[in-house]
């Protein structure tokens, strides 16, 4: 089970234009509305490939209702936690030559109590799956239920039955989910991704990482800035920065594959177990305890790059979340996403795995000397 938590989901409205000309009245050639938010996209693409995934989102106002309706219409399982703010609506302007301009709204604020409810919903799905794995491994399953290591009956996130509300410091309280006792092998993944809405502290992903790890849940984090830096020190199983996010995290420009590898190794030395660094058209770098691997793919004409990083992460986790084979699958899914309009996520018919190559130990010659494009 791969459960995604998107604290700042959106409706993504994509307008196709012949060209973007500032200060003029323009007519769109087409319009599409897709569910948006990085975690939402990860679940959408996983479901398209038949991988078990569940999305957890805050939901508020008419746009929140529309977001939930679109997900349900697409057959995407979702837990909607009702919150007091609003769900944002983002605008993408896609030009005929492939250039994309994206305007993201800030989203409504979340309280500590609302974040606690969202965390409870994630744990309810992840821990129950881990308990089932542990129970099966121990031969303890009887009559279709897990005899040991099961979860407590906490109710759904929408009922407001979290055991803790906002802490005195303005953060969120730990929710009362029992430890499943499952080992990390085969355990559920919790994907914590996207920007933070107003009112949410920068260390929220770090605190959720630590909390989920206590219950045997593997954690992947895809965010940026202060939220990424805080999460790094919590030791997540995986982070997925792009080149700019990775450069900001280590405080230095990254102009070659070797420099990307060194930056990823620096974050691993602080406790991150693996770094999956997306470099756009320049490829992808994977660094973990077994070393570094660089992946490159034959370029295609891009239609929209929106959601490509989410497809990359989804493909990597779906293929096991480690090693060169997972890197190849991840890149194939990302390349497929680039060939689709707006926030549309790929499915099996869109994926072509040929033309993707991997190089081990790219910190040395010749891959390490490869200079990245300015927009890498």
Write the DSSP string, 290-304.
TEEEEEEE-----S-
- Which SS3 state, helix, strand or coil, does residue 58 take? strand
Catalytic residues: 310
Name which of 197, 128, 120 is nearest 161 in CA terms. Answer: 120
Cα separation, 186 vs 164, whole angstroms: 29
Cα separation, 65 vs 40, whole angstroms: 15
Which pair of structure tokens corresponds to residue 286? 């994977």
Cα separation, 25 vs 28, whole angstroms: 10
Cα separation, 89 vs 86, whole angstroms: 10
Which pair of structure tokens corresponds to residue 365? 């010659």
Q: What distances in angstroms separate CA 149 from CA 135, 184, 200, 211, 259, one per listed residue?
A: 6, 14, 32, 18, 44
The pairing of strands 189-193 and 145-146 is: unpaired
Residues 6+ apart with CB under 8 A from 31: 13, 14, 15, 16
Write the DSSP string, 51-71.
--EEEEEEE-HHHHHHHHHHH
């Amino acid at each position: 089970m791969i459960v995604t938590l998107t604290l700042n989901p959106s409706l993504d409205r994509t307008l196709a234009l012949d060209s973007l000309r500032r200060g003029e009245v323009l007519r769109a050639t087409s319009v599409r509305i897709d569910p948006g938010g990085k975690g939402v996209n990860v679940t959408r693409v996983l479901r398209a490939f038949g991988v078990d995934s569940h999305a957890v989102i805050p939901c508020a106002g008419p746009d929140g209702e529309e977001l939930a309706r679109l997900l349900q219409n697409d057959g995407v399982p979702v837990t909607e936690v009702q919150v007091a703010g609003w769900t944002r609506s983002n605008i993408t302007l896609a030009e005929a030559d492939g250039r994309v301009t994206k305007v993201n709204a800030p989203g409504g604020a979340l309280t500590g109590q609302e974040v606690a409810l969202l965390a409870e919903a994630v744990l309810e799905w992840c821990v129950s799956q881990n308990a089932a794995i542990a129970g099966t491994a121990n031969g303890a399953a009887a009559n279709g239920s897990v005899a040991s290591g099961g979860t407590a009956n906490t109710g759904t996130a929408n009922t407001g039955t979290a055991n803790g509300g906002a802490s005195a410091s303005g953060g969120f309280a730990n929710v009362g989910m029992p430890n499943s006792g499952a080992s990390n092998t085969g355990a559920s993944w919790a994907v914590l991704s996207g920007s933070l809405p107003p009112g949410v502290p920068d260390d929220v992903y770090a605190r959720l990482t630590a909390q989920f790890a206590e219950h045997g849940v593997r954690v992947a984090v895809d965010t940026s800035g202060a939220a990424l830096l805080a999460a790094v020190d919590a030791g997540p199983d995986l982070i997925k920065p792009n080149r700019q996010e990775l450069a900001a995290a280590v405080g230095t420009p990254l102009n070659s594959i070797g420099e990307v590898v060194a930056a990823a190794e620096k974050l691993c030395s602080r406790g991150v177990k693996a770094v999956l660094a997306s470099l756009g058209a320049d490829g992808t770098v994977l660094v973990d305890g077994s070393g570094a691997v660089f992946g490159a793919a034959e370029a295609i004409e891009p239609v929209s790059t929106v959601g490509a990083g989410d497809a990359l992460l989804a493909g990597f986790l779906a293929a096991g979340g480690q090693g060169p084979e997972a890197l190849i699958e991840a890149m194939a899914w990302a390349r497929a996403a680039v060939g689709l309009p707006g926030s549309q996520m790929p499915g099996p018919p869109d994926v072509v795995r040929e033309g993707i190559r991997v190089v081990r130990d790219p910190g040395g010659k010749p891959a390490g000397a490869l200079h990245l494009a300015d927009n890498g």
